[in-house]
Each structure stands twice: as C-alpha cells, then as structure tokens.
C-alpha cells in the first residue's frame, strides 16, 4: 500500500506508541491527585509541556493541551471573541479555512458578531491589501490558517502579523494544524497571539493537541469543571496521550530539519508529472507546502478516481477528510478558480517523511493509466 493521505491523518511513530503504552501502564495517576502516583503524572505532564514550549521557543505557561485541532480552533476563536466582546464584535477570516474555524465563526454570528471573509487568489493566498481594508475599529480577532489543508497554499503569516501588530485591539489566531512539522513558523517573529496544533497530523495520536496562547492574552474557556490547564481547559489531562504528543512533535520537528529537501523533491516530481498529464489540472501552487498536492480531472468525479487508485493500493483523498463524505465541491479550489467542474473533481495527495520518490513514480504512473482508461470508457458511453 502507498499511503498518500497524510493530511487526513498520519501513522503514529513506533516511539509514540511505546510512550503511550508505558505511561498508560506505569503512570496512570490523575495529575491533579496529591498522592505519589498523581505527582509522578504531574511531573510527566510538566515535562511534556516544557518540551513542546522549547520546540516552539515560547514559555511553558503559554501551552494548553486540548483534544485536537477542532477543539483548539473552537477554543481559540470563541474564547478570544467572548473575552473581547466589550471591545468589539468584528472578526476577519478567509474563504478557505477548515470547517472548525469557519463554523466557529458562523456560530458567533448568533451572538451578534460580524464576520468578514477575505478572498484568495489563484495561488490560494490572501492579499494583504484586502486584510488592511477589512480591519475596523471594532475588529477583535483575525483568524488565518498557516497551510491550507486542501491545496497546501501557505499564507503570509509573518506579514499579516506585522500588520496586526499595529492594531493592539486585535488578536491574531493561526490554525497551524497542517503546517506543524512541515513548514517553519516562528510564533514570536510573526506576532501570533494564539495558535492551534493537532497530534494526529504529526504522527501522534488522535484526541491530542495543544493551543499556544501568548502570555497576557485572555481567552474564555469552552468547558467548565475542574479548572485544569490554568482554568482554560477543564477536564482530566490525557497524560499518556500528551507525553506521546510531545515525542511526536520532537521527532517531526527534527525530521523537518533533516528531510525537508526530500519531501520537496517528491512534490516537485509529482507536480511536474501532473502538469504534463493530459486532462489534468493542478490546483496547488508550485511554491506551496512541500507535502500537499491537489489536482483535478474535470471529466471525472473525485470518488471514481479515488476508488480506482485504491484498487491499485494507493490511498489518497478528495477534499479534506472532514468534508469528503459530504460529496461537496472543494470550497478552496472553488474560491481559487471559480470553476465548478474543477472543484467537483479534486484529488489531494499528501505525503510525509516516510514516503519515497519511488512511491511518487508509481502513483503518477497509476494516475496516468487510470485517467486514460476512464476517459476511453466515458467516450464509449457517450
């Protein structure tokens, strides 16, 4: 099997699974308990928090563990909005955000918030001039993803942060679920106030994640109860999952340093091969993230090509995993090209550090064969 669906989820590293099992077996105490087993769990929790903070070059007190990207984005957006609603009720986001950002913003409209949505160009990027035009005196939050989950476009986060640093009333939230461990981002240098991460996108476990919240920024909690995570995220901490997450993050960040060029080489090979293929339109920008490549075959429905590839042992996806079962058009490709046929026929390839160039060659050959065969069948059917 060739697994090219790593933006949907990644296979956990063996070391991650070993850590989870070890901590679950030997350090299962509640970290809030006063007895020795609880104290041991609390120490592991603190060590994991410090490791994550050190990798991001921030303070341990700025890391809050969550259950993943969806919770992180909801906590960031709703928590920031509600904490600042006495200062204003205007939020800015983009047309290509993950549903956990888009729907969280939409839900705030019921509480009287107004949402401005920035368009993207054919490279899947916003224009800074559009952001500047959208900013108002009552703007309290800007939420922009770092790496798009469908096409891999990379937003100019540092430039956005520089603009927003001139607006002290505005908090800057970044969804970095797809960028973590693949595309560098300095939270400090980009003036990011809040940033979302997910464990299972970086070879950790599902149900784990963390939120960076810059010191001095206040967000309201979504959950109320035991006041864990400095009252921002109540609920007994998943210590084994968190320890596994910190290990996955360390390995992924190290792999980013060691194998980025290899990942880029695979993408370039796929990009060139797809660009030369008759009947195929490449949707991802050439200068985008090194691990995501999106293309369309306008004559074919996405599901047909996906299942044909699967029968050859190749696993890819259509839109994002969170939207693929809805049979909806790709909203990102639609926002970039405004072409329904192109938006209805997307395939996403997403790689990781364990993939090789030989796999990319096999996938290209399979796509070429399948597209040619299916086009013949469709011509006969007409």
Residues marked active site are found at 322
Give the integer Cα–Cα distance in Å for 28 and 19: 12
Backbone angles phi and psi of 314, in degrees to 5: -115, 125
A 10 A CB-CB count for 173 gives 30
Q: At what angle do helices 239-275 and 14-26 cross, to 10 degrees?
A: 170
In angstroms and rounded to an integer, the radius of gyration of the C-alpha atoms of the chain is 21
Q: Are strands 2-3 and 90-94 parallel, antiparallel or unpaired?
A: unpaired
Q: Which two tokens stand for residue 191?
A: 């003036």
A 10 A CB-CB count for 110 gives 7
Give the integer Cα–Cα distance in Å for 142 and 140: 7
Q: Which two tokens stand for residue 222?
A: 């979504």
Q: Which two tokens stand for residue 169?
A: 């009333």
Q: At what angle do helices 99-109 and 69-83 cross, to 10 degrees?
A: 30
Q: Which two tokens stand for residue 269?
A: 């090979």
Candidates 184, 180, 240; CA nearest to 211 is 180
Residue 354: exposed, middle, or buried by beta-carbon count in 10 A (0-12, 13-18, 19+)? middle
Give the integer Cα–Cα distance in Å for 112 and 155: 28
Distance of CA 98 to the CA centre of its chain: 8
């Amino acid at each position: 099997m060739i697994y090219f669906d790593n933006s949907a989820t990644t296979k956990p590293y063996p070391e991650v699974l070993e850590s989870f099992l070890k901590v679950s077996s030997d350090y299962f105490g509640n970290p809030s308990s006063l007895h020795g087993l609880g104290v041991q769990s609390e120490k592991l929790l603190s060590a994991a928090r410090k490791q994550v903070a050190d990798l991001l070059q921030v303070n341990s007190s700025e890391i809050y563990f969550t259950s993943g990207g969806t919770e992180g984005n909801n906590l960031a957006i709703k928590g920031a909005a509600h904490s600042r609603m006495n200062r204003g009720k205007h939020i800015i986001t983009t047309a290509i955000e993950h549903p956990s950002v888009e729907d969280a913003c939409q839900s705030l409209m019921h509480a009287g918030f107004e949402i401005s949505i920035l368009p993207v160009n054919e490279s899947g990027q916003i224009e800074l001039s559009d952001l500047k035009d959208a900013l108002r005196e009552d703007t309290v939050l800007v939420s922009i993803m770092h790496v798009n989950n469908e096409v891999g476009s990379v937003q100019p986060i540092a430039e956005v942060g520089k603009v927003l640093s001139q607006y002290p009333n505005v908090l800057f939230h970044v969804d970095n679920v797809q960028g973590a461990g693949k595309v560098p981002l300095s939270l400090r240098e980009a003036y990011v106030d809040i940033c979302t991460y997910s464990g299972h996108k970086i070879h950790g476990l599902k149900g784990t994640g963390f939120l960076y919240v810059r010191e001095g920024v206040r967000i309201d909690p979504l959950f109320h109860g035991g006041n864990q995570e400095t009252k921002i995220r109540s609920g007994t901490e998943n210590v084994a999952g968190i320890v596994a997450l910190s290990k996955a993050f360390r390995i992924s960040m190290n792999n980013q340093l060691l194998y980025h060029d290899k990942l880029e080489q695979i993408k370039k090979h796929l990009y060139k091969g797809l660009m030369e293929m008759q009947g195929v339109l490449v949707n991802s920008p050439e200068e985008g993230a090194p691990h995501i490549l999106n293309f369309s075959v306008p004559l074919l429905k996405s599901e047909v090509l996906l299942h044909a590839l699967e029968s050859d042992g190749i696993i890819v996806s259509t839109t994002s995993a969170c939207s693929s079962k809805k049979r909806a058009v790709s909203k990102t490709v639609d926002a970039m090209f405004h072409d329904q046929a192109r938006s209805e026929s997307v395939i996403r390839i997403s790689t990781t550090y364990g993939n090789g160039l030989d796999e990319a060659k096999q996938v290209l050959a399979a796509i070429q064969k399948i597209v040619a065969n299916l086009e013949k069948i469709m011509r006969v059917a007409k």
